[in-house]
Structure 1
Amino acid sequence: MANSLFAFRSIRKVAFTSSASASVKWKGGVSLVQGASRGIGLEFAKQLLEKNDKGCVIATCRNPNGATGLLDLKNRFPERLDVLQLDLTVESTIEASAKSIKEKYGCLNLLINASGILSIPNVLQPETTLNKVEKSSLMLAYEVNAVGPILVIKQHMSPLLKVGGTGIERDVAVVANLSARVGSIGDNRLGGWHSYRASKAALNQLTKSVSVEFGRKKDPVICILLHPGTVDTDLSRPFQRNVPEGKLFTKEFSVQKLLNIINNIKSHDNGKFFAWDGQEIPW
């Protein structure tokens, strides 16, 4: 029994030493951006790399070989950008990325879930009336916008450890899920867009529940939701016609605002839903 206990402690010590040494290499911390092939996710990866020259960014997407913007960023930051394959609809790829991150880096300081779908030609379109709602659209939106991000958090919780470093002022690790104001039930005055609204509302509830669990366990991790505003990306482009003047943001502007929220977040903000300007959004 004594020998077994000694062996267990030795294994645990080796594992801890390996993780610690991996984290020491990246004094600016380790960030994971899920959904980084284009749009807001790609911009998150770009700004994280440009604004913290001592940190490492892990960027994931469904098809890394076809992500030209991400490959260009990799050429600029070959040592500090790691690109991994992750498909939100295939849980084995989520598990594989978590295993790779844990083995190579030992910790994460920041996890950003940036993926989301609103429309796919001939597959998914925002519903303007109830009679256009289809089960397939509801299920697909729910799978990508709500289920996928929560499974990413579940699988990557083991590497999510509190760690300090140059360029990191927070004393907690942060999970930031990109939601949308239309996911707010209290803010819903127009109706429509049933699949997208419902899937984002589900993401909000799941994220809130995860944040409560973090708090109850006293884990040094907080979980927040972020609304980026209406951003000029492929996701919003078909629906920009009615956006008021001055309310269509560039990716650069929106991500700068969201990173400012993330970098200044406090423990008491756990479980909150913020707009790009720092204002809380009602559930």
Structure 2
Amino acid sequence: MEQQTNKTYLIIGGTGGIGQAMLRQLASHQHGNEKSTNSATLIATYHKRPPPDMPQVTWVKMDLTDEDSIKNAVETIKTKTTHIDWVINCIGLLHDGNQQPEKSLRQLSPEFFVQNMKVNALASLLLAKHIRPLLQKATRTEDAPAIFAVLSARVGSISDNQLGGWYSYRMSKAALNMGMKNVSIEWARSLPNTCVVVMQPGTVDTTLSEPFQGNVAEDKLFSPDYSAEQLLNVLATMRAADSGSFVDWAGEKIAW
């Protein structure tokens, strides 16, 4: 599949492990079956961490927990490009400096629960709300839709939950999944030829998973570059009819 000329990508959380790896992949013009010498337009967001030195990338500051920050960032992006073809939200919260995922109800903190909901669930809804006009201006077809992708987690699957625990993370990811399903249904009517997809990147060697890697088999712990390549490969195969899907890094469907 030949990559479209002047295709514009927006990576939310471009300073994170997976976000940076995606930018490297996209900058090399090699992902999926796409190979092109055409220059992609790469835009990425950062929050607190200074962005890396990547000359191909236009950086925009955004706090996904603050709607005004999202609105202002989108207005800035509109001065950089006329449209967005793909949006990929790589941001997620599993733990912070004060709290790890809960092993039992005794450890449940209302503040940590709300923080998980804001970062893992609400943020993508607000992003969809404000980025929609730029997706609407993208050239979209059934076979080459605009993409709105978010990273979720297999533990957000209700039917797959056999272990319990991790209340805030599990519930926020389940809420994210429901929110994106809603968006996919609405946009099928109002923004046709757009694919809204929820993706599980696997267990990736990043700061998010670092405290929990001890029980992960070596061949199941992915590098950010490998996970990013796999995710982009899957997205390159998506059609508009796939909107509303929950898939893993290999493109296999995950039960809700």
Task: Calculate the TM-score normalised by the size of structure 1.
Answer: 0.83
Note the 1:121-270 alignment, pairs <5 A: 121-122=97-98, 124-161=99-136, 163-164=138-139, 170-270=143-243
After TM superposition, give the deviation of residue 44 of structure 1 in Å: 1.3
Residue matched to 2:33: none
Residue matched to 1:14: none
Give the ranges of 4+ consecutive aligned residues of structure 1 lying more than 6 Å apart after TM superposition: none
Corresponding residue to 1:97 among 59, 73, 79:
73
Partner Cα separation in structure 2 for residue 148 and residue 38 of structure 1 = 16
- Aligned partners of 2:143 and 2:240 also within 8 Å: no
Structure 1 unmatched ranges of 5 or more: 1-25
Partner Cα separation in structure 2 for residue 60 and residue 86 of structure 1 = 6
Partner amino acid for 1:254?
S
Query: Cα 1:145–1:225, aligned 2, differ >3 Å: closer, same or farther?
Result: same
46-55 or 92-101: bigger deviation: 46-55
- Aligned partners of 1:172 and 1:222 also within 8 Å: yes
Q: Is 1:59 paired with 2:44?
A: yes
After TM superposition, give the deviation of residue 154 of structure 1 in Å: 0.7
Partner Cα separation in structure 1 for residue 41 and residue 27 of structure 2 = 7
Sequence identity percentage = 38
Residue matched to 1:22: none
Partner Cα separation in structure 1 for residue 78 and residue 198 of structure 2 = 24
Q: Which has the larger Rg?
A: 1
Partner Cα separation in structure 1 for residue 219 and residue 235 of structure 2 = 24
After TM superposition, give the deviation of residue 218 of structure 1 in Å: 4.9
Partner Cα separation in structure 2 for residue 41 and residue 33 of structure 1 = 6
Q: Is 1:73 paired with 2:18?
A: no
After TM superposition, give the deviation of residue 102 of structure 1 in Å: 2.2
After TM superposition, give the deviation of residue 131 of structure 1 in Å: 1.0
Residue matched to 1:107: 83
Report the RMSD for the aligned CA atoms in angstroms: 1.9
SS at match of 2:28: helix
- Aligned partners of 1:101 and 1:159 also within 8 Å: no
Partner Cα separation in structure 1 for residue 88 and residue 195 of structure 2 = 12
After TM superposition, give the deviation of residue 225 of structure 1 in Å: 0.4
Partner amino acid for 1:44?
M
Partner Cα separation in structure 1 for residue 185 and residue 197 of structure 2 = 11
Higher relative contact order (CA 8 A, sep 6+): 2
Partner Cα separation in structure 2 for residue 170 and residue 103 of structure 1 = 28
Query: Cα 1:197–1:256, aligned 2, differ >3 Å: closer, same or farther?
Result: same
- Aligned partners of 2:142 and 2:241 also within 8 Å: no
- Aligned partners of 2:90 and 2:150 also within 8 Å: yes
Residue matched to 1:49: 27
Task: Calculate the TM-score normalised by the size of structure 2.
Answer: 0.91
- Aligned partners of 2:60 and 2:77 also within 8 Å: no
Query: Relative to total residues, which structure has the larger helix share, 1 or 2?
Result: 1
Partner amino acid for 2:246?
F
SS at match of 1:72: coil
246-255 or 94-103: bigger deviation: 94-103
- Aligned partners of 2:142 and 2:239 also within 8 Å: no
Partner Cα separation in structure 2 for residue 254 and residue 217 of structure 1 = 32
CA deviation string 1:149-169 (max 9, x = no partner): 11011111001136459xx99
